[in-house]
Amino acid sequence: MTIKKGQTFTASEKVDKYRALYYAGASGDYNPIHIDPEFGKMVGLGGTILQGLCTMAFATKTVTDWAGDPGKLKKIKCRFSAPVMMEDTISVKGTVSDVQAGLARVDLAVVNQSGVEVLQKVEAEVEV
């Protein structure tokens, strides 16, 4: 695949009601805000929220699927900006903002079904 400045790609993922539990098992992050709906309500979150790193993993998977090889991803960073609830749909849009020295810089917009940015300042570097 030839990567060029201005190129775009998209993907979306629905967060099933068990995703935070699966991720807790894989990551060891059993914070009650992720696994106990009543606790999440008690602290004002409205229920359980997805681990931020799982949200980032959705964005990362979008980039590696587009690149065609996980090994091409050299760097990714983001700012966690809003909670993701169970049953939310996360949409990712990537735009290649620069290509030089064998690397493509990709800016990502990551939003929920209401258009709220759940990750901000998401940037990835991909080997071209």
Q: Given a cut of 80, is residue 125 above it in pLDDT?
A: yes
Give the separation between CA 21 and CA 128, rounded to whole angstroms.
Answer: 36
1 pLDDT higher than 90: no
* Phi–psi pair at 33, nearest 5 degrees: -65, -15
Query: What is the DSSP track for 9-56?
Result: EEEEEE--TTHHHHHHHHH----HHHH-HHHHHHTTSSS-B--HHHHH
pTM above threshold 0.85: yes
pLDDT tens readout for residues 73-116? 999 999 999 999 999 999 999 999 999 999 999 999 999 999 99
**Domains of the chain (ranges plus CATH)?**
8-15+51-127 (3.10.129.10)
Res. 40: pLDDT tops 80? yes
| Mean pLDDT over the full length of the chain | 97
Question: In this predicted model, what pLDDT tens digit does every residue of 3-34 receive, in sequence order?
Answer: 999 999 999 999 999 999 999 999 999 999 99
pLDDT at 2: 87
Chain centroid to CA 124: 12
Give the mean pLDDT of 41-59: 97
- Computed over its alpha carbons, how large is the radius of gyration of the chain? 16
Catalytic residues: 29, 34, 49, 52
Place of tokens 């030089």: 100
In angstroms, what CA-CA distances link 47 with 40, 56, 73, 91, 96?
Answer: 4, 20, 34, 21, 36
Residue 77: what pLDDT? 98
Neighbours of 23 (CB within 10 A): 20
